[in-house]
Amino acid sequence: MQKTLKSDVVFTGVGLHCGRDMTLRVRPAAAQTGIWFRRTDISDADPFISANWQFAVHTALCTRLVNNDGLGVSTVEHIMAAIAGCGINNVVVELDGPEVPIMDGSALEFVRGFLKAGLIEQAVPVQVLEILQSVEVEENGAYAALVPFGGIEMDFSIDFPDEAIGQQSKTLNLANGSFVHELCDSRTFCRNSDVQVMRSKGLALGGTLMNAVVIDGAHVLSPGGMRHPDEPVRHKMLDAMGDLALAGGPIIGRYVGRRAGHTLTNKLLRKLFSQNGAFRSVDCDAQAAGRLPGAGLVQEDVYIYA
């Protein structure tokens, strides 16, 4: 069955790129509502923005959604990953500015907040998208694909010249809380040489060593180093989870990413929805629902960092 939150959950933090303090409130919503963002600071335009692939605009450093009035919200990928990873189907995400707060650079705080509030089932089946034909996109040496598979799986690999990252690969079946157990605490990362370039372009104004893993060659500049030896590839998988959540429901299939990013994953969804016979939408029965990402999660499933 579809799920929503038992109560409101509030988060506060800084926007990674805009550098502004933000307050975000996630509210329960009725069955069949889906996921919506609402800009509470706007009164002269439609404040609602659908969390749907059709409203994503191409940016290299984050996922941005823009409605038909031109109103947008940026850096939605981490909270979208948390929503999908916890098996939430219906909420309204209210925020008082243009960007979702970055928190610690991962989805951990969102997951922790959702599971603490608790989830309730709604009397409507979850609708899933079952991949029937392989769909793939390739651009500038990066590759992404969705292929038929009897569950929800992700296979990702990255290759960076920095010794602290290098080549990393990971394959993960995302059923039964694997996102929460394996991916949700992995933080966004960047190369130290890119920080000043981004700031000169008005980006990463809220970035610090505490909300991003900053790499300088063989060195990790952020205190405490990596949370996992392969934290960068895990974070890329987290990002892909959030970007794929814009499909409107869980995707039953295997996602393959090779150096893929936000833009390529969105182009993959656009190709999926334009290719006749590539997928079908079906109601999820009880057996299949037990294999979805948020099935059986409880608050204790989140490891609490010291």
Residue 187: its pLDDT value, please? 94
Residue of 224, 227, 218, 191 whose CA lies nearest to 207: 191
Q: Are 257 and 136 in contact (CB under 8 A)?
A: no
Tokens of 109: 């705080």
> Strand pairing partners for 189?
213
Give the residue numbers annotated as catalytic, written as ranges: 262
User: What are the domain boundaries of the chain?
Assistant: 3-297
Three-state secondary-structure class, residue 197: helix
Res 204: pLDDT: 64
* CB burial string 112-136: b at 16+ within 10 A, e below: bbbbebebeebeebbebbbbeeebe
Averaged pLDDT, groups of 10, the chain, 306 residues long: 96 84 96 97 94 88 93 96 96 96 94 95 94 96 96 95 93 92 93 73 68 88 91 97 96 96 95 96 85 81 56
Token pair for residue 157? 């690999």
CATH class of the domain whose range is 3-297: alpha beta
- pLDDT at position 193, please? 75
Long-range own/partner contacts, residues 40-48 (CB < 8 A, 24 or more apart)? 40/94, 40/95, 40/96, 41/96, 41/97, 42/71, 45/69, 45/70, 45/71, 46/71, 47/71
pTM: 0.93
Q: Which pLDDT value is given to residue 303? A: 60
pLDDT of residue 147: 98
